[in-house]
Amino acid sequence: MKKRLRSLLCALLAMTMLSSTVVCFAQDSETGKKYHDYGTYVLLGDSVAAGYSDVTPIDCEFKRVDTSYGAIVADTIGAELIPMACPGFRTIEMRYMFEDDYEGDDYLFHDASDPELMESRIPAFRQAVADAGLITLGLGGNDVGTFLSWVVLDALAQGGEFDEFVAAAKEMLESAGIQNDTLTSLLDLAAVMGALPGVLEVLPEAIEYGISNYIENWDYVIQDIYDLNPDVTLLVVGLFDTGYKTEEDLENDDPNSISHKISQTLVDAINAPMKAGADKFGYIFVETSGTVCDISHPTPAGYRNIANKILAALPEDTFPFTDVSASDSYYNAVKYVYENGIMNGTSETTFSPDSSMTRAQLVEALYRLAGSPDVSGMKEPFLDVNSRTASYDAIVWAYNEGIVTGIAFGLLFTPNCTVTRAQLSAMLYRWAGSPQVSGSLSYIDRYVVPSYAKNAVIWASTNGIVAPTSSRTFSPLRAATRAEVASGILQVSAM
């Protein structure tokens, strides 16, 4: 680790001394790409994520900025944007917002945000992350840039040789705040005041401090997000070279030039933990090269470039049903049964979640869930079922597996009859192996639960397999809806 850090420090220091480049990190009606209905999109990160502008500074702390990549993405995919990005955030501040027992460092929120205000925002911050369908995280630039000025000054102050410079630099940082807290600003002032040798002497120590914290904290931040929201779609927005100030800079860039190689080495080094985390955690890493900046923040065109990269990285949604929304409680269940070939829609674009199903359709779904096993040689029990009957294999399989027993003393199956909630509970209960149950039914309609389904209804209602229709009723004889069937299948599939 020490050798890697030292190699990276050399690249950082060389870039600082030889180049004016600083790094930060960084349908559609035009493409026709269809996006998943995420519901809410939470924007996490620092000033680049927040949409800060070097030309017209704006208050973007936890606020929507229309030119930010977050706003562009949200508007394109039709999601509700929850802006939770804050200028100055490092991995340290991000961990502090997530973890009760994490105290941060001596530079926590230094000159960027009011600590008490940040503390008050923690509950809403965590709830937004927990409820999000989509999150983008843009972080890392400040770990190796902003705040390191203070680390340098604190180190210089210990020697006493550069007290005049230290006082002037701290006054500059405190008066200009986060907008002027960059290593380049510090180096410019040091050159004017004759303190550059001292700054360059302690700079590697400061950079090592920032890089070490960044590497140490990255996985914690990602794990914090997934601990709150295990199923969220998470995209990590990579850092980019801020040396491109115009489109002409991009066109005329020489990849073999020393400045390009130094800049790209730094960008690659900072992005490395992000890319490694994509393999470890399963999030999507978004590469953001070609972003044009004013000084250290993107221009409007630069933000559009990052937004386009995010939109391109988002998986295309193949979910076809217009009558099922991500906000519906049964959305994941319908998506599961459709994508796994267990249930089809009632048309190419509709699922009809509130419609009923026949008994044959239910056993067909369970048969597909089981992998559509061969039924050769199995007993054919029902008088109203033969090889010409729709779902014949599924019905034969369900009988031989003990999932259905038929009616009229087991002589008939009545495949075209509507399946009831009691029957749904019974079939799912048998699919699960008829586990032992305890307790009794307390619903006011418990007396109309068929005797064969009593244990099944107890099991289904207490385990969230088939939800009651109210706190006092189960409605066992009511037709089961397609959404209820999908939800039940999703639950038992994990057993």
Q: What is the CATH number of the domain that holds 181?
A: 3.40.50.1110
| Backbone phi, psi, residue 305, to 5° | -60, -45
Residues 235, 268 within the same domain: yes
pLDDT tens track for 282-340: 999 999 988 998 888 999 999 999 999 999 999 988 888 999 988 899 999 999 999 99
Asked if residue 194 is part of any domain, the answer here is yes
What integer pLDDT is reported at residue 88 of this predicted model?
Answer: 87
Q: Is the pLDDT of residue 102 over 60?
A: yes
Dist. CA 52–CA 55, nearest whole Å: 9
- Of 283, 313, 343, which closes a domain? 313
Residues 296, 349 within the same domain: no
What integer pLDDT is reported at residue 262 of this predicted model?
Answer: 66
Residues 354, 439 within the same domain: yes
pLDDT tens track for 14-26: 344 333 333 333 2
pLDDT level of residue 209 (50, 70, 90 thresholds)? confident
What integer pLDDT is reported at residue 111 of this predicted model?
Answer: 62
> Which of 203-207, 344-348, 372-376 is least confident?
203-207
- Of 281, 313, 345, which closes a domain? 313
> CB neighbours (10 Å) of residue 58?
12
Dist. CA 15–CA 262, nearest whole Å: 6
H or E segment at 91?
A: helix 91-98
What integer pLDDT is reported at residue 24 of this predicted model?
Answer: 35
Residues 346, 489 within the same domain: yes
Amino acid occupying residue 283: Y
Q: In this structure, are residues 82 and 208 in contact, taking their beta carbons and an 8 Å threshold?
A: no
Asked if residue 318 is part of any domain, the answer here is no
Supply 12's token pair: 């950082």
Residues 290, 382 within the same domain: no
What integer pLDDT is reported at residue 183 of this predicted model?
Answer: 66
Asked if residue 322 is part of any domain, the answer here is no
Mean pLDDT of 356-377: 96
Q: Which residue's structure tokens are 């289904």? A: 460
Number of domains in the chain: 2
Supply 236's token pair: 């990590």
What integer pLDDT is reported at residue 160 of this predicted model?
Answer: 83
**Long-range contacts: 296-302, Cβ < 8 Å, 24+?**
296/22, 296/24, 296/54, 296/145, 296/182, 296/242, 297/24, 297/47, 297/48, 297/52, 297/53, 297/54, 297/242, 298/26, 298/48, 298/69, 299/55, 300/67, 301/247
Residues 77, 30 within the same domain: yes
Dist. CA 372–CA 162, nearest whole Å: 79
Dist. CA 166–CA 384, nearest whole Å: 92
User: pLDDT: is 257 or 426 the higher one?
Assistant: 426
Mean pLDDT of 143-147: 73
pLDDT level of residue 251 (50, 70, 90 thresholds)? confident
User: pLDDT: is 214 or 10 the higher one?
Assistant: 214
Q: Which of 230, 174, 183 is nearest to 204 (CA)?
A: 183
Asked if residue 409 is part of any domain, the answer here is yes
Residues 246, 363 within the same domain: no
Residues 178, 82 within the same domain: yes
Residues 183, 276 within the same domain: yes
pLDDT level of residue 212 (50, 70, 90 thresholds)? confident
Residues 250, 365 within the same domain: no
Q: In this structure, are residues 82 and 43 in contact, taking their beta carbons and an 8 Å threshold?
A: yes
Q: Residue 213: CB partners within 8 Å, gap ≥ 6? A: 90, 91, 92, 105, 143
Residues 344, 308 within the same domain: no
Supply 274's token pair: 């992000």
What integer pLDDT is reported at residue 29 of this predicted model?
Answer: 60
What integer pLDDT is reported at residue 412 of this predicted model?
Answer: 93
What integer pLDDT is reported at residue 485 of this predicted model?
Answer: 98
- Give percent of the chain above pLDDT 70: 90
- Highest averaged pLDDT of the listed ranges 36-45, 53-62, 206-215, 267-276: 36-45
Q: Is the pLDDT of residue 10 over 50?
A: no
- Of 284, 313, 342, which closes a domain? 313
What integer pLDDT is reported at residue 260 of this predicted model?
Answer: 67
> Which of 144-148, 294-298, 470-474 is least confident?
144-148
User: pLDDT: is 33 or 257 the higher one?
Assistant: 33
State the maximum Cα–Cα separation within the chain, in Å, rounded to a whole number: 100
DSSP 147: B
What integer pLDDT is reported at residue 248 of this predicted model?
Answer: 83
Asked if residue 403 is part of any domain, the answer here is yes
What integer pLDDT is reported at residue 17 of this predicted model?
Answer: 39
Residues 350, 299 within the same domain: no
| Prediction pTM value | 0.68
What mean pLDDT is reported for the chain? 88
pLDDT level of residue 269 (50, 70, 90 thresholds)? confident
Q: What would the DSSP string read from start to end of 451-463?
A: GGGHHHHHHHHHT
Dist. CA 13–CA 206, nearest whole Å: 11
Distances in Å between the Cα of 123 and the Cα atoms of 81, 130, 230, 231 are 18, 11, 18, 20
Asked if residue 320 is part of any domain, the answer here is no
Asked if residue 325 is part of any domain, the answer here is no
- Give the residue numbers spanning the domain of 454: 331-493
- What is the distance of C-alpha 300 from the center of its chain? 25
Asked if residue 323 is part of any domain, the answer here is no
pLDDT tens track for 28-83: 666 678 888 899 999 999 999 999 998 888 889 999 999 999 999 999 999 999 99
Mean pLDDT of 259-279: 83
Query: 3-class DSSP state for residue 399?
Result: helix
Dist. CA 51–CA 68, nearest whole Å: 4
Q: Residue 314: CB partners within 8 Å, gap ≥ 6? A: 35, 36, 77, 134, 233, 235, 284
